[in-house]
Amino acid sequence: MKRKTMNLMRSVVCMMLLFVAFAAGAQEKIYLSLQDAQEYALEHNRTLENASLDIMKAEAARWQAIASMLPQVSAGLDYTNMMGYKMDFGMMVISMPPSASFTVTTAIALSGAQIVSTQVGNISKRMADISYRKSGQEITDQVKILYYSALVTEETLELLRENLESMKKLHSMAQSAVDVGVSEQTDADQLKVQVATMETSINATERSLEMVYNSLRLQLNLDANSEIELTQGLPELMNVDAVSDLFREEFDINRNYNYQLLKASTDLAKKQIALTGWSGGPTFSIFHQFAKKHYFSDEMTMNMTPPNMLGISVKVPLFTSLRNTKSVQDARLSYRKQLNTLADTEAALKIQHRQLVYNLKSALEQYRTQKDNVEVARRVFENIALKYEYGVASALDVTNAGTNLIFAQNSYVQSLLQIVNAQISLEQLLNR
């Protein structure tokens, strides 16, 4: 009885260990719509996290510039021991006993360069904020491209598998005809090669799909073993009418993040002129110092430390051998170059808008054409396959029809991706 109990306990423990091992090895499965994937990426992507840290760094740098114009307070405590030294003035001897002094100094310094530095800090913070929003847009767009790519690749796999089943059926019929002596082996061999070609295409497409999912895991900052299941399909996401609305949307260049960054950079170059100019300007400073000194002796001594002291100073550079003048000239030239770059970019973005609208229109036309083409190619293949079953068409006809169908399907899939890429490029430009 005792042995049976021990065996039962061992069995229970083994089952528990197996359950724990299975649970530990189980893959995490995540169900994602397109919006869920984009929001998840914004929350977990490290690139966006670094962009938010840049905003904090810009804010810290701005406050450093502001703090340099605010009062600075410091305290000091000193101890001095002259080892029994005494000052002998002939008729008077003054002892120099050990002493301790405590000082509190309050100072403030102001210059035009400091004021301009705070303005530069404001522009830098604005640029960091624009870069953060731009990074967010790029991440969501990249997730959208990968999401669509996964759906398109999955649809390609489905089409190829359907073709493979049809081709396997025809090959089986051809081989049966060869076995009964009513057909030649070369006909069956041609279809066998076509089957092998389709299987190779399916394997390559499966590997491509895994690469797409790995890229999506990287964007979402997911574990490599995480399993992703997309909850939306192409029919739900592909809204041709919504895409067509982009043609009628007016291009506001000031909403474009690249233009905003370049404009802020131009403002920064302009402020650099003032900052360089004020580097040769006057500096005003004022300080107050409170001091208290204590001697560790009752002997007569001489205390020359005033308890309160106020100081004011104004410093003006008089001659710098044209260093400041040339620095300002260099800053002005840099600003003029930046203005030219801004004007060129503005013109280029307007032309780019026209080109992207053209690209999207062409992609939509290509999509409609390829959609009709793949339907025609499918009907032709089914017709040829039916004729082959009745002995009216040859194996070569079936192979050619199958090849044309695969080519039409690939062209259709590529047209889908072209629409997605063209749409996202235009939305990025418009800052949709």
> Which residues have CB under 8 Å from 413's CB, separation 6+?
152, 153, 155, 156
Burial 142-155 (b: 16+ CB within 10 A, else e): bbbbbbbbbbbbbb
Burial 238-270 (b: 16+ CB within 10 A, else e): beeeebeebeeeebebeebbbbbbbbbebbbbb
Residue 13, Cβ density class (10 Å: 0-12 exposed, 13-18 middle, ≥19 buried)? exposed
Task: Grade residue 28 by pLDDT with cuts at 50, 70 and 90.
Answer: low
Q: What is the model's pLDDT at position 300?
A: 66
Q: In terms of residues, how long is the chain?
A: 432
Per-residue pLDDT of 377-425, as tens digits, reads 989 988 988 888 777 788 788 888 888 888 888 888 888 888 888 888 8
Q: Which helix (H) or strand (E) holds 77?
A: strand 72-80
User: Average pLDDT for residues 99-110, to the nearest whole number?
Assistant: 92
Look at residue 348 and tell me whether its pLDDT is greater than 80.
Answer: yes
User: Average pLDDT for residues 44-51, to the nearest whole number?
Assistant: 84
Look at residue 9 and tell me whether its pLDDT is greater than 60.
Answer: no
Cα separation, 401 vs 117, in Å, equals 72
- Specify the pTM: 0.76
Task: Grade residue 8 by pLDDT with cuts at 50, 70 and 90.
Answer: very low
Look at residue 288 and tell me whether its pLDDT is greater than 90.
Answer: yes
Look at residue 181 and tell me whether its pLDDT is greater than 80.
Answer: no
Higher local confidence (pLDDT), 262 or 247: 262
Tokens 């301009």 sit at which residue? 116
Q: What is the model's pLDDT at position 20?
A: 41
Structure tokens at 347: 């013109």
28-74+111-281+323-430: CATH number: 1.20.1600.10
Distances 245 to 64, 147, 240, 426 between C-alpha atoms, Å: 47, 22, 9, 11
Structure tokens at 338: 């930046």
Look at residue 24 and tell me whether its pLDDT is greater than 60.
Answer: no
Q: What is the model's pLDDT at position 316?
A: 86
Tokens 């001095």 sit at which residue? 80
Among 203, 216, 214, 215, residue whose Cα is nearest residue 157: 203
Per-residue pLDDT of 350-366, as tens digits, reads 999 999 999 999 999 99
Q: What is the model's pLDDT at position 13?
A: 42
Q: What is the model's pLDDT at position 211?
A: 94
State the chain's mean pLDDT as an integer: 84
Look at residue 162 and tell me whether its pLDDT is greater than 90.
Answer: no
Task: Tell me how many helices (H) and strands (E) the chain has.
Answer: 10, 8
Please provide residue 296's backbone torsions phi and psi, each rounded to the nearest 5 degrees: -90, 55
Higher local confidence (pLDDT), 277 or 311: 311
Per-residue pLDDT of 291-314, as tens digits, reads 998 888 877 677 778 889 999 999
Look at residue 278 and tell me whether its pLDDT is greater than 60.
Answer: yes
Question: Percent of the chain, pLDDT > 70?
Answer: 93
